[in-house]
Structure 1
Amino acid sequence: MEQKTAPLNVTIEKNYDSELCGSIPLHLVNLIQPHGMLLVLDKVDYTIIQVSENADRFLHLQAEQLLSQPLSVFIPENQYREVLRKIKSQGIHDKIPFTLTFNVGGNDVVFTTLILVHENYILVEMELSDPSEQESFTSFYQHIKYITTLLKQAVSIKEVAQVATDELKKFTSFDKVMVYQFDPNWNGIVIGQAKEDDMDDYMDLRFPASDVPKQARELYFKNPYRLIPTRSYTPVRLVPIINPKTQRFTDLSDCSLRSVANVHLEYLANMKVDASMSLPIIIDNKLWGLISCHHKTAKYTSYEMRSAMELVSGILSAQLEARQKEENMGLRVKLRSIHASLMEQLYSSSSFADGLLEGNVDIQQLLDLSGAAVMFEGNIWTSGDTPTDQEIKELVSWLRRNKANGQFATASLPTVYPHSKRYMDKASGLIAMPINAEQGEFILGFRPEVQQTLQWGGDPNNAIQMEQDGKSYHPRNSFATYIETVKYTSLPWQQEEEDAAETLRSAVLEKIIKER
């Protein structure tokens, strides 16, 4: 079946990020999910100073019976030495699980464990280890090797994303897997999707920035994944509530068991999803997007599978970065070729305006313009489809007053300069290269309005629904496709195009100086 193509290059001026959602301290919830248990150790003597209330479920001991006890009382001596070694050698971001055996009342309980070292205390994150659910290393290696091979063969960002979702769905058995890319304003768009036939189709749909608020985005740099085996869980408290070492709630930023905000659980319910897992796609130390996995029913994902998915997430990030660099390099090579021809023409022309606007190559080809203008020494030269001379003079006057400090580019000129609405069909996009801004001398490039239809997963204007108290809120309850038409915008200026414009401006200034 032919895949739909999402229009990625759309300028969305409205800010859908939410200061309210982004300010909620998600790391200070003092609650964990019940599929594991948590110990908090004193960093000096390794006694247990906090424990999750569900200790009785795993160890048949009340939480209070564990408090003030040395960790060494419960585990074999060789494992205790291993814990001390990990505490001393690992930093807070080293999340390598190991096996820990708790002996309580003569019975051994085996956990898969993570040690998370903080400044004043140590978190010990534990989940029951079930050997019957563990796949062999060979099996995981074969899966990952196969997925990696397919990702390397994909030739575009869209194809890489689609291969990743197809193969991860097969590998993990989640009902739906999506690759979700952020735009500069943190709105997301689904660029790859594999799903069961009875699940909602989110391919190409956009989701407002408030769906993954600032605080949640930042936590992806501390956690390699976010697992919710079921949204229908009862949160588990830490005992005592206040950390005795810090006299405040324990920071659970890097804790995989950390409980989830109720608003997110409600969000999953509205999506008709019970279990979810998400992994960050990080490129150049920035959150580029997410791998988002959904399941219609409860689904616990083993440590082994999570580790494999974490590895695939890193491989996917590398492949997306490689394709992005290839696409950017292709554009740079094309622009350099046009620039070289334009420079030859520029230096052989009687005036730089003629060299830019007339001949076999021109500035319109270089910067993908529908029209261009040069205003220099009181004269105006134009080519292609441009505003009138008077409108250009008024625009330059506005630029002198407001945008005189260096090159200026916008894909939505009418939103910053309302007078341009009357010629938005010629100049919704503007790139302005000052020659002598104080004298009103500029090279201007224009792009026409390109009305584009955006498809959102629900109305982004109603993404957050506040209660009457002004404090509580709920996510939107519908993800039905919401159509928005973006007006007053052109195709956006790519960084390579802005760089090419700046290089051209420098060459023009050099020619003017030499001629004088």
Structure 2
Amino acid sequence: MENLQAPISITPEKNYDSEFCGSIPLHLVNLIQPHGVLLTLDKANLRLIQVSENAEQLLGDKVLNILNEPIAKFLPAQQLEDLQDKLQKAESREKIPFGLTFLVQGKEVTYTALLHPKEEYVLMELEDNQNPPQQESFLKLYQQIKYITSQLKQARSTQQITQLAVEALKDMTGFDRVLAYQFDPQWNGIVVGQAKEEDMDDFMDLRFPASDVPKQARDLYFSNPYRLIPARDYTPVRLNPVINPFTQRFTDLSECNLRSVATVHLEYLGNLKIQASMSLPLIIDNKLWGLISCHNKTPKNPGYEMRSALELLSGIISAQLASKERENSIERKARLSGIHAQLLEQLYTIPNFADGLLTGNTSLATLLNLSGAAVLYEGGVWTSGSVPSAQDLKELIYWLRRNKTERSYATDSLPNQYVRARDYKELASGLIALPINAEQGEYILGFRPEVLQTISWGGNPDQAIQMEPDGKTYHPRNSFAIYQQTVKHTSLPWLAEEVEAAETLRSAVLEKIIKDRY
């Protein structure tokens, strides 16, 4: 057998995706971060029906005096027309920031605005660009993006793509540490790329439990192109009134960049010894593949130009990762197709199909990377390589018939699914079962041995959530020291292309059996 799997494929036995953390409604917090202002406008007449309590700084009047006023009162006529025009177009286009000038105590002040139209109302996010962070010229950002893109296209593997990406983004943004973080099948994340200052903790190759990025937080990355926390120790700003007059509930802030962050996450950042963070989703085939996570030891608020560049780059990085994964999949399929063709020829030249699968220059073991295989057909048993005993095979078939009906079945942790398999885990921690006639107990079986794997976690995953005695308040772990865990009762995982090749072979075997009979 050859080890064809990446470390991300190792799946821990325990599921660390916390249902408790994943049930917290992060989008209904009624709070924003203070580096901007949020206005809720009646869609029909652009009247201010809800504002963040720091709106006084923006509009120059007390919140109670601002509420229920038309926004036209605070805008020059030309700006009002521009806003109305953008609202008409906003329904069918990406969320694009634009400059909006307000009249504040007789003076014109320009803010960067972002619109989120809803059915009855509009959310408007505003950030002050009078004293913005260091501005990047369009030409410089364009050159940087083009250079990074050309580097990514030359990468030979997903690992090289992620490493090139984090190095380029660190250089471009000035963040102290940039990580590429890939999710495993159970939503634990492993750091697959890192660029950092020397005095920052090293997280390369460490795994973090799924509860660090619970389901609610993961889902929000499909509404937001990035998640920015410029200063961890901020004081949240409330919306006034508390309840949205149209929905009679907290306003849904899913799409808002200013949305406040759960206290437990801010505590988590503190335990990481960082003051600012920005994360960008890596989305492939409409699924969250991973994240780019940027950390800074001091407060940091990238300007909209830089944020927009990062948003664009996260899409480019995702596209390059998707392209490389497709390329790798095509190569694997081509290799397996060649082996399948040889095996098919052998299958039709040897009278007994079981011998055709298990013996000869090409075998089932070659196709599916097996350490052992067995064919149970018409009362006979044919085996090759290392397989369980005849009695164990009989009991395994009985379990398959009882639980898996007539479907093909593959698992890389058979002893965790079928307790009796623990007696022969060294031979069969991995199983692929292809039914010929399940009702008669006729199967083609492929086995993979146990592979003891050591996972290095960033802190003890069993202590990722620490509950208070009240059972409601909880805290994140305060240590990210390397915690090693040995994964038992597992084999190398089955690649999707291998499972597909196995199913294609099953169809060929069934076709041969029918031809031989009739």
User: What TM-score does the superposition give when structure 1 sets the normalisation length?
Assistant: 0.97
CA displacement, residues 143-168 of structure 1 (integer Å, 9 cap, x when unaligned): 10111011111110000000000000
Extract unaligned runs of 5+ from structure 1.
none
For 1:391-406, list aligned pairs within 5 A.
391-406=392-407
- In 2, the alpha carbon distance for the partners of 1:106 and 1:176 equals 44
Contact kept, 8 Å, 2:114 with 2:125, in 1: the verdict is: yes
- In 1, the alpha carbon distance for the partners of 2:61 and 2:232 equals 26
| Residue in 2 that maps onto 1:13 | 13
Offset, 1:190: 0.6
- C-alpha change, 1:219 and 1:439, in structure 2 (3 Å) is same
- The alignment partner of 2:278 has SS state of strand
User: What TM-score does the superposition give when structure 2 sets the normalisation length?
Assistant: 0.97
- In 2, the alpha carbon distance for the partners of 1:24 and 1:121 equals 25
- Across the aligned residues of Structure 1 and Structure 2, the Cα RMSD in angstroms comes to 1.2
| Residue in 2 that maps onto 1:79 | 79
Offset, 1:387: 1.1
CA displacement, residues 203-250 of structure 1 (integer Å, 9 cap, x when unaligned): 111111111111111110000000000110000011111111222111
Offset, 1:86: 1.6
Contact kept, 8 Å, 1:451 with 1:489, in 2: the verdict is: yes
AA partner of residue 287 (structure 1): L
Contact kept, 8 Å, 1:92 with 1:117, in 2: the verdict is: no
- In 1, the alpha carbon distance for the partners of 2:481 and 2:302 equals 29
AA partner of residue 203 (structure 2): Y
| Residue in 1 that maps onto 2:357 | 356
| Residue in 2 that maps onto 1:427 | 428
- The number of aligned residues is 512
| Residue in 2 that maps onto 1:42 | 42
For 1:381-396, list aligned pairs within 5 A.
381-396=382-397
Deviates more, 1:5-14 or 1:279-288: 5-14
AA partner of residue 298 (structure 2): T
- The alignment partner of 1:369 has SS state of coil
Offset, 1:405: 2.6
Offset, 1:6: 6.8
- In 2, the alpha carbon distance for the partners of 1:245 and 1:366 equals 61
- The alignment partner of 1:28 has SS state of coil
| Residue in 2 that maps onto 1:290 | 291
Contact kept, 8 Å, 1:92 with 1:118, in 2: the verdict is: no
Contact kept, 8 Å, 1:6 with 1:204, in 2: the verdict is: no
| Residue in 2 that maps onto 1:143 | 144
- In 2, the alpha carbon distance for the partners of 1:101 and 1:65 equals 20
AA partner of residue 210 (structure 1): S
| Residue in 1 that maps onto 2:222 | 221
- In 1, the alpha carbon distance for the partners of 2:108 and 2:12 equals 57
AA partner of residue 26 (structure 1): L
Deviates more, 1:504-513 or 1:70-79: 70-79
1:269 aligns with 2:247: no
CA displacement, residues 40-96 of structure 1 (integer Å, 9 cap, x when unaligned): 101111111111111233343222221111111111222211211121221287310
| Residue in 2 that maps onto 1:453 | 454
Offset, 1:473: 0.7
Contact kept, 8 Å, 2:465 with 2:474, in 1: the verdict is: yes
Contact kept, 8 Å, 2:11 with 2:186, in 1: the verdict is: no
Deviates more, 1:340-349 or 1:89-98: 89-98
Contact kept, 8 Å, 2:158 with 2:325, in 1: the verdict is: yes
Deviates more, 1:75-84 or 1:502-511: 75-84
- In 2, the alpha carbon distance for the partners of 1:515 and 1:176 equals 64
Extract unaligned runs of 5+ from structure 2.
none
Superposed structure 1 runs of 4+ greater than 4 Å apart: none
- In 2, the alpha carbon distance for the partners of 1:90 and 1:507 equals 54
Contact kept, 8 Å, 2:457 with 2:482, in 1: the verdict is: yes
| Residue in 2 that maps onto 1:111 | 111
Offset, 1:131: 7.1
| Residue in 2 that maps onto 1:212 | 213
AA partner of residue 449 (structure 2): P
Percent sequence identity is 63
| Residue in 2 that maps onto 1:28 | 28
| Residue in 2 that maps onto 1:340 | 341
AA partner of residue 306 (structure 2): M
Contact kept, 8 Å, 1:387 with 1:427, in 2: the verdict is: yes
- In 2, the alpha carbon distance for the partners of 1:92 and 1:116 equals 11
- C-alpha change, 1:169 and 1:139, in structure 2 (3 Å) is same
Contact kept, 8 Å, 1:75 with 1:103, in 2: the verdict is: yes
- The alignment partner of 2:27 has SS state of helix
CA displacement, residues 436-462 of structure 1 (integer Å, 9 cap, x when unaligned): 011010000000000000001111111
- In 1, the alpha carbon distance for the partners of 2:177 and 2:92 equals 32
| Residue in 2 that maps onto 1:496 | 497
Offset, 1:13: 3.0
Contact kept, 8 Å, 1:11 with 1:491, in 2: the verdict is: no
- The alignment partner of 2:15 has SS state of coil
For 1:127-276, list aligned pairs within 5 A.
127-130=127-130, 133-276=134-277
For 1:299-378, list aligned pairs within 5 A.
299-378=300-379
- C-alpha change, 1:6 and 1:57, in structure 2 (3 Å) is farther
Contact kept, 8 Å, 1:93 with 1:222, in 2: the verdict is: no
1:61 aligns with 2:75: no
Contact kept, 8 Å, 2:157 with 2:324, in 1: the verdict is: yes
- The alignment partner of 1:8 has SS state of helix
- The alignment partner of 2:493 has SS state of coil
Contact kept, 8 Å, 1:370 with 1:446, in 2: the verdict is: yes
